[in-house]
């Protein structure tokens, strides 16, 4: 058994990529605090960006809200609970993680065994001085 190992070139990864291991989820599914309790969005309509945001909320969002302008001339949109927020939520799918060593996929058990074996060899090298 060879004990020469350069730990700088070994890379173990465990990944659950968003595109393959998660799906879009509704606010209700993830107990989104905005869905549960409602939320406020404060917008400065003195800017072009703020005007676009407010226009979207008023004319395209399809959400219920009330609005007011505060003393600082900022528009406050208040959204009641029980409706979709503006965030995109994700939920994990029931898929095993991807195990990789130096970019190559491995079975989970093989990955664990390889990791243990390499750590054992490194420990032996360290103990030898």
**Residue 90 near residue 17, CB atoms below 8 Å:** no
Q: Is the dihedral of CA 65, 70, 73, 74 positive or negative?
A: negative
Instruction: Note the pTM of the prediction, 2 decimals.
Output: 0.64
Give residue-wise pLDDT tens across range 47-59: 999 999 999 999 9
Mean pLDDT by 10 residues, the chain (129 residues): 57 85 94 97 97 97 97 97 96 88 81 82 77
Provide the edge-to-edge strand list for the sheet that holds 75-79: 39-43, 75-79, 66-69
């Amino acid at each position: 058994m060879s004990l020469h190992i350069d730990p700088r070139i070994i890379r173990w990864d465990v990944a659950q990529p968003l595109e393959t291991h998660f799906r879009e989820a509704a606010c209700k599914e993830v107990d989104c605090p905005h869905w549960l309790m409602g939320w406020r969005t404060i917008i400065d309509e003195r800017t072009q960006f703020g005007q676009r945001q407010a226009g979207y909320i008023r004319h395209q969002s399809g959400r219920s809200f009330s609005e007011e302008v505060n003393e600082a001339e900022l528009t406050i949109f208040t959204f009641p609970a029980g409706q979709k927020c503006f965030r995109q939520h994700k939920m994990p799918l029931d898929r095993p993680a991807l195990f990789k060593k130096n970019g190559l996929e491995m079975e989970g058990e093989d990955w664990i065994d390889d990791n243990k074996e390499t750590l054992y060899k490194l420990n032996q090298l360290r103990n030898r001085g």
